[in-house]
Amino acid sequence: MVKWLKDAVFYEIYPQSFFDTNGDGIGDFEGIIEKLDYIKDLGANALWINPCFDSPFMDAGYDVRDYKKTAARYGTNEDLKRLFEEAHQRGIRVLLDLVPGHTSDQHPWFLESKKAEPNEYSGRYVWTTHAFEGIGGHPYISGMSERAGAYMLNFFASQPALNYGWLNRTEHWMSAVDSPEAIATKEAMKDVMRFWLDAGCDGFRVDMADSLVKNDDENKSATASIWADVRKMLDEHYPEAALVSEWSNPYQAINGGKFHMDFYLDHWYNGYNTLLRDYETGGEDNSFFRKGAKNDITRFLDDYLPKYNATKENGYIAMFTCNHDTPRPARTLSQDELKIAYAFIFTMPGVPFLYYGDEIGMKYLDVRTKEGGYQRTGSRTPMQWDHSPNDGFSKGRKEDLYLPVDESENAPVLSDQINDPDSLYTFTKKIIHLRHEYEDLQADADFEVIYGEKEKLPFVYRRGNLILAVNPSDKVQSLHHPVFNCRNIICSINQSEINGDELKMDPSSFLILQ
């Protein structure tokens, strides 16, 4: 296991929207460099930067045109290398976003693959034999090239699927997972990884990590085998490099694919979803951290605990406040509710990720789609730094901004919160620094549920030798348990009392006991 992950707290940056230094309305590498001291002071010691490679931006950079060249809107390869260096000088690691399952349809590999004459790249993508032969059960495009064949898509129409082979082959044109063309694709992606690791990056978040081998079995064993091979390369040549998967199945990603971390994604009604965004049916919000909801922690625990127990010796489940694909938690939760939620997220096992702007409670905005964002676009708006024009994001013209800033009267901005002892920012910073201070709050410290009953509160859990309790409800909650005896409160939100073995917690409260 990569040692530095034990105490890692990641800050996710959507580069288009973080900080613009040249006035073109789009964030850039220099903007990230200028804000590294802010990130360090907040307590984050690692970054995940969303795709920053050359792209036509039909899907916000997840359609890569050149894996070894940065997008001009952000800066040059040398600028990105300088970002690595500046981050490392501050003790901050940097993960890049790797998109291994598909490229842009403008990638040179695909332009060669489209040609009628066989060449080195003919098998780099998934093609059928002729233009009238589709790919059953999968999206595909035909009639768009001189090559006679239909090509498979991995997501949008501009994203042809790279060929890692098919486990269950039902057609003669399907490559085996050990075919020369499938192996060449895997090796090409490993070459991309080595290029950026040699340049100074510290690892990768892997987009759609489970999407490589087609017709894989229910355990995704063939895809997992590819990642296990990648992990072997890292262990041998880049032992400090880290991998986090967009998979949300730690059994497969951590135990099978050997990822260091697997994201606990916001999938409908999994454990994570019940915490912050349980409002997809009927409009009613039953999220655990919403004051006045049913506050049933067992819906989370029933899903989380088996995954945690099965994988804790091999890797980490990564929980996040939000990401670029997920509605911001402030869409339905107040800043007081967010404090309770963040207290939980940053004191749980595994590696936590904080999405830029969540530390001040940035809102989910109703804005028009941009670069394939659609409903996700509302979580990708510019960081709100201060009350200067464009909320301090850019000195450019308002009409040139990548996305509009929040212009509401109560739009949260950092400058209002950074010196306010009661602000969401101040609490977020406090709980992150506590995680660094106490080893018992870090990724691999023991975790045990002390009290977690259906529709009953408080929820009480142990991290190492620390006891933590959460009451997100609108009512006073109490519990008798010997674990509370002779304990001192080292962190709290709102009032809690300990009398012998009784804990009494006010509404919307949280505490850590030593």
Average of per-residue pLDDT across 382-390: 98
pLDDT over threshold 70, residue 221:
yes
Confidence band (pLDDT; 50, 70, 90) for 66?
very high
Average of per-residue pLDDT across 94-121: 98
Which pairing describes strands 53-54 and 66-70: parallel, antiparallel, or unpaired?
antiparallel
Q: Is 511 strand, coil or helix?
A: strand
What is the phi/psi pair of residue 20, to 5°? -105, 120
What are 503's two structure tokens? 């804990």
pLDDT digits (tens, 9 = 90+) for 461-488: 999 999 999 999 999 999 999 999 999 9
What are 427's two structure tokens? 């609490």
pLDDT over threshold 80, residue 291:
yes
What are 341's two structure tokens? 């939620």
Which pairing describes strands 466-471 and 447-451: parallel, antiparallel, or unpaired?
unpaired
Confidence band (pLDDT; 50, 70, 90) for 57?
very high
Rounded Cα–Cα distance for residues 24 and 255 (Å): 45
Dihedral Cα 206, 209, 212, 214, nearest 10 deg? -160
pLDDT over threshold 80, residue 80:
yes
Average of per-residue pLDDT across 272-300: 90
pLDDT of residue 88: 98
Could you tell me the fold of the domain covering 102-163? Oligo-1,6-glucosidase; domain 2 (3.90.400)
At how many degrees (to 10) do helices 180-199 and 221-237 cross?
Answer: 40
**Which among 250, 196, 161 is positioned nearest to 51, based on CA atoms?**
196
Are 479 and 460 contacting, i.e. CB atoms less than 8 angstroms apart? yes
pLDDT over threshold 80, residue 120:
yes
Centroid of chain to Cα 251: 18
**Which among 464, 395, 404, 391 is positioned nearest to 434, based on CA atoms?**
464
Which pairing describes strands 509-513 and 466-471: parallel, antiparallel, or unpaired?
antiparallel
pLDDT of residue 282: 61
pLDDT over threshold 90, residue 269:
no
**Which among 90, 92, 113 is positioned nearest to 102, based on CA atoms?**
113
pLDDT of residue 55: 98
pLDDT of residue 284: 82
What are 200's two structure tokens? 């100074």
Rounded Cα–Cα distance for residues 62 and 345 (Å): 27
For domain 446-513, the CATH superfamily is: Golgi alpha-mannosidase II (2.60.40.1180)
pLDDT digits (tens, 9 = 90+) for 311-329: 999 999 999 999 999 999 9
pLDDT of residue 348: 98
The per-residue pLDDT of the chain, averaged, comes to 97
Rounded Cα–Cα distance for residues 12 and 48 (Å): 5
Dihedral Cα 230, 234, 240, 244, nearest 10 deg? 0
Q: Where are the alpha helices (DSSP H) in 200-334?
A: 221-237, 250, 271-276, 298-311
Confidence (pTM) = 0.98
Domain ranges in the chain are 3-101+182-439, 102-163, 446-513
Q: Is 329 strand, coil or helix?
A: helix
**Which among 264, 225, 269, 260 is positioned nearest to 246, based on CA atoms?**
264
pLDDT of residue 306: 98
Residues in Cβ contact with 78 at an 8 Å cutoff, skipping those fewer than 6 apart: none
Number of other residues whose CB lies within 10 A of the CB of residue 129: 12
Rounded Cα–Cα distance for residues 8 and 279 (Å): 31
Are 340 and 508 contacting, i.e. CB atoms less than 8 angstroms apart? yes
Rounded Cα–Cα distance for residues 326 and 490 (Å): 32
Confidence band (pLDDT; 50, 70, 90) for 18?
very high
State the residue for tokens 């917690």.
505
Which CATH code is given to the segment(s) 3-101+182-439? 3.20.20.80
**Which among 366, 298, 278, 316 is positioned nearest to 10, based on CA atoms?**
316
pLDDT of residue 281: 58
Is residue 49 within a helix (H) or strand (E), and if so which, with residue range? Answer: strand 46-49
Rounded Cα–Cα distance for residues 177 and 212 (Å): 10
pLDDT digits (tens, 9 = 90+) for 160-218: 999 999 999 999 999 999 999 999 999 999 999 999 999 999 999 999 999 999 999 99
What are 453's two structure tokens? 């009953």
What are 420's two structure tokens? 């306010």
Burial class (CB in 10 A: 0-12, 13-18, 19+), 99: buried
Are 322 and 411 contacting, i.e. CB atoms less than 8 angstroms apart? no
SS3 content of the chain, % helix, strand, coil (to 5): 30, 20, 50
Q: Where are the alpha helices (DSSP H) in 371-505?
A: 414-417, 424-437
63-97 per-residue burial string, b: 16 or more CB within 10 A, e: under 16: bbbbbeebbebbbeeebbbbbbebbeeeebbbbbb
Confidence band (pLDDT; 50, 70, 90) for 512?
very high
